[in-house]
């Protein structure tokens, strides 16, 4: 029997990047994966095709978290898929990064990042904890910038600090149901979010060299940590901030 047989996972932002890798790792171990996307339907279909190709099962759902009214669409679509079943794993992964210092950041950029990275996570979680099996897992994808912010990412780093705070409180609220809640904080990881920065291989290598393990992260590096936290073996860890950065800045 596979590790996550009969488990149902919702992974926000799993059309590409880290979320896609998480969906594939969970599906490989038998979980039914609900793959959420916003603008990249084709990439989401590709994730589902890859899930099916490894013998996994899943469904696609769409919602734009910039417009928080659209979160209700996510609830109704997922509720239809669940048809009275409950979810086991909620992976709050979808994220938006707009590079701007305090002098340049617009109110719109600030609101967009807080809507996608914080407000949607809060209300999605509020909804799904009412239909989550006891013993479930909530994993919030944070960032190592929440503890070591940079000037040009001031608002983005604030969103991730808010998520870490949310993780701590929620872990204490849900502990009696044996639901664990953790923040996983990647460092620089090779996804579209870093496409511009990493297009120059010299820049990519020098950013990798700032990590103890001398390379940038891959989406799968992060997915493995998430999979561990979802497993029985990861069940005694809750309310924690777990940095997965290959030792950034050590
Ligand atoms: N990459 C890094 O270096 C790094 C480091 C630290 C933390 N993180 C965090 O890791 C998570 C995943 O990042 P990633 O690097 O995999 O990013 P990515 O490759 O840019 O993918 C972002 C994902 O979020 C979804 N998304 C974007 N805007 C959205 C919106 N308005 N509403 C709902 N979903 C939206 C995208 O959906 P569509 O494809 O449909 O647009 C996509 O699936 C994020 O929370 C990010 O902050 C990343």
pLDDT of residue 69: 87
CA dihedral of residues 185, 189, 191, 195 (deg, nearest 10) = 120
pLDDT of residue 68: 81
pLDDT of residue 70: 87
pLDDT of residue 200: 96
pLDDT of residue 87: 98
Q: Rounded to 5 degrees, what angle do the CA atoms 192, 73, 115 make?
A: 50
Active-site residue numbers?
156
pLDDT of residue 137: 99
- For 12, residues 6+ apart whose C-beta sits below 8 A from its C-beta are 19, 36, 65, 91, 92, 93, 94, 120, 124
Contact 181, 169 (CB under 8 A): no
pLDDT of residue 213: 98
pLDDT of residue 112: 97
**Which superfamily is assigned to 8-188+218-244 in CATH?**
NAD(P)-binding Rossmann-like Domain (3.40.50.720)
pLDDT of residue 154: 98
CA distance 182 to 170: 9
HEC secondary structure over the chain:
CCCCCCCEEEECCCCCHHHHHHHHHHHHCCCEEEEEECCCHHHHHHHHHHHHHCCCEEEEEECCCCCHHHHHHHHHHHHHHHCCCCEEEEEECCCCCCCECCCCCCHHHHHHHHHHHHHHHHHHHHHHHCCEEEEEEEEEECCHHHCCCCCCEHHHHHHHHHHHHHHHHHHHHHHHHCCEEEEEEECCECCHHHHHHHCCHHHHHHHHHCECCCCCECHHHHHHHHHHHHCHHHCCCCCCEEEECCCECC
Taken as a whole, the chain contains a residue count of: 250
103 burial via Cβ count (<10 Å: 0-12, 13-18, 19+): exposed
Q: Which of 20, 22, 38 to mutate to test the pocket of ligand 1 (most atoms within 8 A of CB)?
A: 38
Report mean pLDDT in 10-residue bins for the chain, 250 residues.
96 98 98 98 98 98 92 93 97 97 97 98 97 98 97 98 98 98 98 96 97 98 98 98 97
Ligand 1 centroid vs 108 CA: distance in angstroms? 18
List residues near ligand 1 (CB under 6 A). Answer: 13, 15-19, 37-40, 43, 64-66, 93-97, 116, 141, 143, 186, 188-189, 191-194
CA distance 93 to 169: 19
Ligand 1 centroid vs 19 CA: distance in angstroms? 7
Q: Which of 15, 41, 43, 94 to mutate to test the pocket of ligand 1 (most atoms within 8 A of CB)?
A: 94
**Which residue in the block uniquely carries the two structure tokens 């998430």?**
226
Indicate the domain borders of the chain: 8-188+218-244
pLDDT of residue 182: 99
Ligand 1 centroid vs 176 CA: distance in angstroms? 31
- Packed helices 107-114 and 154-174: angle between N→C axes, nearest 10 degrees: 20
Ligand 1 centroid vs 177 CA: distance in angstroms? 29
């Amino acid at each position: 029997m596979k590790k996550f047989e009969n488990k149902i996972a919702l992974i926000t932002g799993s059309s590409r990047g880290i979320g896609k890798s998480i969906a594939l790792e969970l599906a490989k171990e038998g979980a039914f994966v609900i793959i959420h996307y916003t603008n990249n339907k084709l990439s989401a279909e590709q994730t589902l095709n890859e899930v099916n190709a490894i013998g996994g099962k899943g469904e696609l759902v769409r919602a734009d978290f910039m417009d928080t009214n659209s979160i209700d669409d996510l609830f109704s679509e997922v509720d239809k898929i669940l048809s009275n079943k409950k979810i086991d794993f909620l992976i709050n992964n979808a994220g938006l990064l707009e590079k701007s210092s305090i002098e340049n950041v617009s109110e719109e950029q600030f609101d967009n990042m807080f809507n996608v990275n914080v407000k949607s996570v809060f209300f999605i979680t509020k909804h799904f904890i009412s239909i989550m099996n006891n013993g479930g897992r909530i994993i919030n994808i944070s960032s190592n910038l929440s503890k070591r912010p940079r000037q040009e990412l001031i608002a983005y780093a604030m969103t991730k600090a808010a998520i870490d705070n949310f993780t701590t409180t929620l872990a204490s609220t849900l502990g009696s149901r044996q639901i664990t809640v953790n923040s996983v904080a990647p460092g620089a990881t090779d996804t579209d979010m870093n496409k511009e920065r990493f297009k120059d291989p010299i820049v990519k290598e020098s950013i990798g060299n700032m990590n103890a393990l001398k390379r940038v992260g891959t989406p799968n590096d992060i997915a493995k940590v998430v999979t561990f936290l979802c497993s029985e073996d990861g069940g005694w860890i809750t309310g924690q901030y777990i940095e997965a950065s290959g030792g950034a800045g050590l």
